[in-house]
Every structure is written in structure tokens, then in C-alpha cells.
Structure 1
């Protein structure tokens, strides 16, 4: 009703419709917000305080000046506009309810079936009437899904301007790697081994830093599994992404030494103030340390949280 009423005016307007639920009678009001000169943007929405005071001295900043207007007569076009708004609001309310139901699962791995495929995204059926959007930008490069395909992805919440929130999915985020290891490695699920950091170039390579407080356990070996069974299972789900599992260290320099392998570091100079490390390596290890298109050093930078400058030790 408010939407249909707004179409009467050429300028923006604030419209409010009060409905008596018992009788079905309704009244329509147009209102202006009382503002100062700095906040004044549109005469269709705002009125200056000094002008409002002329109407009634009781008005203050933030007050509303109301004016009763004729109720809209619902012709075919107005009724259609009202129906569209109602349908949209009902859908938004349904989405909000579903988001609330799934909020406790945000950040976790969920299973779903592809229900619809478009150029920009996939709609995935999560079951029990819940759906989530999987943007193509959140797919692993090269992945192709068709209607009816099953998939696993990390559940997220996407805020959309003026349209509330909705469930979304990602297979590209670092959390996807962590959640898969949680499934494959009981020691992680039981919190005997902790994943401290993940740096990922989805579909190509990822580095996972792990630690344990139990000296009897080799955290890297546990994540790799017998004959590589655990890490291979995770890699297969990610399109055979290369996974480097390294020991976590609270010392960023030690963590870098663990993460940059197989390249060997000759020396590290830390700039604490700028969170930068100057890393010198042997000439034969320089290409390995940097990696193809700088991938290795980029992932090492992400996992340590420091900027890295890798140079030949002889330069």
C-alpha cells in the first residue's frame, strides 16, 4: 500500500499505512522528518527545524510531521505493485528465519544438492526447505556443477543492502581446507591437534600450520595419515590441490623456516615495527622460495602475517 501510494508523487516520500487488523480499515499518512541544515537532503523527506517550529513549537530535531492523505484506490497496476512487495517481504522473512536456524552452523561444512545453475551463481538445496547461494567466484577454479550434483562447502552469511541476509556458500575460502581436515583427522576433531593458520590459493596450493600440546603425537604425520591417506582425501575434494602441512611456531621467523620448505633460508632480518622480514636464501633455492608466480612466498606471507622480501644471499 505504501509503495503504491509513493507512486503518486514525483519526488521521494515517506509513507506509512496504519491498518486495523480487526476491521481491515486503513489510513495513509505522509510524513517528514525534522532535521537541521546539515542533514537536510530532500524536501520530499525532510523539513528544516525552523520551518517545523512555524507549524508547531513543540517540534524538535528527529520529530515527525504527519499529514493524512487519501488512501490509494487499488486498480490493477497498484494491486500488482502491492502484491510484489508483499511477496518480496514474505520471502525476506522466510530467508531471515532460515538464516537464524542455520546461524549456529556458520563457518562449518555442509552438504547440499545443486538445484539451479546460472551464469553468476548456483542455488544449493541444503534440505528442510533451506537454500543457499554459491557464487561462481567462490568455486574452486575449473569446477563445474550441474543440477542434481552433490557438493560440500562452508556455510556463510551474506548481508545484502536493503534485502536482509541470506545463506551463502564457499568452496574457495581457507576454512574449507580446515573443515575437511577436521573430518579426516580425528585428532583435530578431538582438539588434540589445533590448526593455527591456513593460507590458500584455491585449486592450486595451500599451507596449513598445526600444533599439539601432546608430545606423543606428531601433528604433521597425523594430518598426512598412513601412506598419505588423510591428506590425499582432502586434496581430492579440492581438485587435487597441493597441501603443505607445517609445524606452527609462535616465533614468526621459525614459522617461516617451517613453511617455506623445501627451500633453505640462510638468514632472516626482522623489522618488528613494520612487520617485515628480509629473507636471504642461497641462489639455488631462490626460485623454490619464491615459487611459481610468487605463490610460495605469498602463501608464506599470509600464514606468518608478515611481509616478506626474499633475496639472493650474495646480493
Structure 2
């Protein structure tokens, strides 16, 4: 292989990977110096001249002329007779520069050199990809579905970069087909064996926050600030918003007339129910707003323990707890308080765990999953509604209610 042919083969990678001239020269020199070390044992007496623009490369070996028969290091020294074959007027003690052709390295060395060259280019490319996506962490990104696996979807962007969307970062209702565009945030980027692993997420709270920035101009412009986002992906989310401009209604601006502004966000998230709440430093008022749509009668707070006992009318309790307990759980995450709900006017109640002699633990656990931890909380519910909200049979629910009811009968 001639020098120029190797450079031409390299130019293919240069065009594909957009490697700048300085980097190209550094990679080439590094690759050739490694080849020279293997061939001659050292490389510091070689000059390598790379001209990627013209597509040529020169390697020169520098040696000192010594008297015939006195050569001790053939890499650094050359006999007078050999030197005069290069130039007839050389004398002992002078420096000789002799060009080394690639063919002098041997066929195996040339093949190894080319492989090393390809490896170095890919390594450089992977480093650039890593840096590029590391800067994009937390930002929205769009890529196309390339391959659907059981535990993840493999996406490709316009530049052919591979992005992984794991199953646990997908919204439960997500369903994608090959060739379809997918939006999410770049959650993390790691280098594994010199290859970057790029993870996308659609379940992270940051994805919802970035969607607000994209879809609501006042958020993008900084007129409205998103203070905190909490989510049960695909089910429910709560977003606390604030504005430093008293003329702006942050909730109204985010939701829009009849929900017009937030509609596209809800649709992107698989019809996730999004509550937008006015942020306030008044923690009692913030808890009241966070438990919306329930109307609270009173709150007893312990600011040190970060607990809040909330009193509500019986008909408001199910609203405060929400389907699957999502509303009260998200309100707690949003405010940083552990919130307990109490029914107004109910002085006596019994926790379900007190009935373990008569009700099986797994049945009690089913009620706890939807936020029902006391006897009266269960008795206030409609049987058909409980069948729909739990994995319990109607007959089982009626038997439980009979046991609980007997506790309060005279």
C-alpha cells in the first residue's frame, strides 16, 4: 500500500466523522509512531510529516554516520558505506535523514496500522458523541424507533447515534412502532468500554418540566417559574408554578382557556392528569392547594416533623386520596410533608390492621393501596367502586364490610 493510498482511505472516515484537520494530523501521527515503535523499538528519532489536505504523508528516520564496522544501534546509527549510497559526500559524525516507505514496515504492520487507525477514529468519534450528549442531559430530544426489544426501545437520531429508552423509562400506555418519532429527555450518558450509552426517559419529572418550557411561552421566557414537578407517569402529576409578575396568573397561563395550552402536554404523556398549582411559601396554604380538588376544613401541622393532619368532610376524603392514593401521595411529595387525612365529625375509628384476626393481610393491603387504612374509610365507599379500584371480588368486599360494620354496632 502506498502512503497516499492509506491517506485516501482515511479521508473516507474524515468526511463521515467531520474530524478537523488538527485532530486528523494528531491521530495519524500517533498511529504511525506506534507502528514505528513495533518495527524499530523506538520512534523519537523519526520525523512524521502529515498533509491531510494534499493526501500525502512522509516518514523520515534520522541517524548518525559512524565508521564501517562500528554500528552498535542500527536504528540510530548508519555505516559510512551505507550513508554514501544515499549521498556520496557524507562523512563520519554527520546526520543522515532517510525516508521510510510504508512498504518497509511490512505487510502485517500495514494491516495492523490500518486497523489501529480505524480504532482511533472510532474512539475519537465516541468521545465526541459522549461530550455532545453529556451537554444535552436534562434536555428534550427526538429520535426514531429503530428496534423494539422486550426491555428497551432502541432509537436512532438523524446522525445515526443510538439512544436507549428502557421499559421502566416509558409511560405505561406508551406504544411505539418502528420508524415512529419519540420524544423524551436525555437522562444519562455513560462511557462503557469507550462506547457511549445514552439513556432517554419519558417518566422523569424533568420531561414534564421541559414540555412546559416548549409549549408555554411564559415559562420559556422566564415570566413563569416551575418550582417543582412530581409525577406518577401516565396517571397523575402536580406542577407548582410561580411568577414574579403580579399581573400574570401562572396557573391560568399554563392551563389556557378550557385547557387549550396544556392539552398537547397531556396528550404527549398518555393523558396524564396534570394539576397546576400556585406555589406559595405559606406551607399550610400550599398543602391546601396541593390536595386539590379536595376542600379542606382545617390543618394541624408539625413543621419540625414535617407532618400535617388534614380534616375534611367525609365526602371530600376520596377526592383528597385520589384513585390509587395518587393525589395524597403526590401532594406529600410536592409539599415535603407527610399528610394524614381525618374525617370531620368522626371521633372514633379503627385501623384496618386491628382486624387481622378476621381479615387476611393481603385483603387489608389491597385497601391500603387505594388509601383506605381505617374501618370507616372503607365503610364510606361504594361496593361497586371498590370492585373497580381493587383486585378484590364483590363478595370479599361485602364480607369485609360486614366485619367492620359489626365493630360499630351497639
Do residues 275 (structure 1) and 289 (structure 2) align?
no
Residues 1:129 and 1:164: Cα distance change in structure 2 (over 3 Å): closer
Do residues 24 (structure 1) and 38 (structure 2) align?
yes
Q: Identify the residue that residue 317 of structure 2 maps to in structure 1.
A: 286
- Secondary structure class of the residue paired with 2:172: coil
Q: Any unmatched runs of 5+ in structure 1?
A: 1-18, 28-82
Cα pair 1:157 1:165 within 8 Å, conserved: no
Q: Identify the residue that residue 99 of structure 1 maps to in structure 2.
A: 130
Normalised to the residue count of structure 1, the TM-score between the two structures is: 0.70
- Secondary structure class of the residue paired with 1:105: coil
- Secondary structure class of the residue paired with 1:196: strand
Q: Identify the residue that residue 150 of structure 2 maps to in structure 1.
A: 119
Q: Identify the residue that residue 176 of structure 1 maps to in structure 2.
A: 207
Q: Identify the residue that residue 326 of structure 2 maps to in structure 1.
A: 295
Cα pair 1:108 1:155 within 8 Å, conserved: yes
Normalised to the residue count of structure 2, the TM-score between the two structures is: 0.54
1:232-251 matches, cutoff 5 A: 232-251=263-282
Of the candidates 268, 287, 305, which is equivalent to residue 256 of structure 1?
Answer: 287
In the TM superposition, what whole-angstrom CA distance separates every residue of 1:130-167 from its partner, at most 9, and x where no partner exists?
22111011111021112101111111214477777521
Q: Identify the residue that residue 150 of structure 1 maps to in structure 2.
A: 181
More strand as a share of residues: 1
Do residues 203 (structure 1) and 239 (structure 2) align?
no
Q: Identify the residue that residue 6 of structure 1 maps to in structure 2.
A: none
In the TM superposition, what whole-angstrom CA distance separates every residue of 1:218-270 from its partner, at most 9, and x where no partner exists?
11110011332111111011111111111011222211111211211122222
Tell me the distance in 2 between the aligned counterparts of 1:144 and 1:296: 26
Cα pair 2:127 2:194 within 8 Å, conserved: no
- Secondary structure class of the residue paired with 1:244: strand
Tell me the distance in 2 between the aligned counterparts of 1:92 and 1:287: 57
Cα pair 1:155 1:168 within 8 Å, conserved: yes
How far residue 92 of structure 1 moved from its aligned partner, in angstroms, is 6.8
Measured on the aligned residues, the alpha-carbon RMSD in Å equals 2.6
- Secondary structure class of the residue paired with 2:271: coil
How far residue 110 of structure 1 moved from its aligned partner, in angstroms, is 1.0
How far residue 273 of structure 1 moved from its aligned partner, in angstroms, is 2.2
More helix as a share of residues: 2
- Secondary structure class of the residue paired with 2:262: helix
Residues 1:25 and 1:275: Cα distance change in structure 2 (over 3 Å): farther
Q: Identify the residue that residue 130 of structure 1 maps to in structure 2.
A: 161
How far residue 309 of structure 1 moved from its aligned partner, in angstroms, is 1.3
Q: Any unmatched runs of 5+ in structure 2?
A: 1-32, 42-114, 348-410
Which of these two proteins has the greater Rg computed from alpha carbons?
A: 2
Tell me the distance in 2 between the aligned counterparts of 1:306 and 1:88: 54
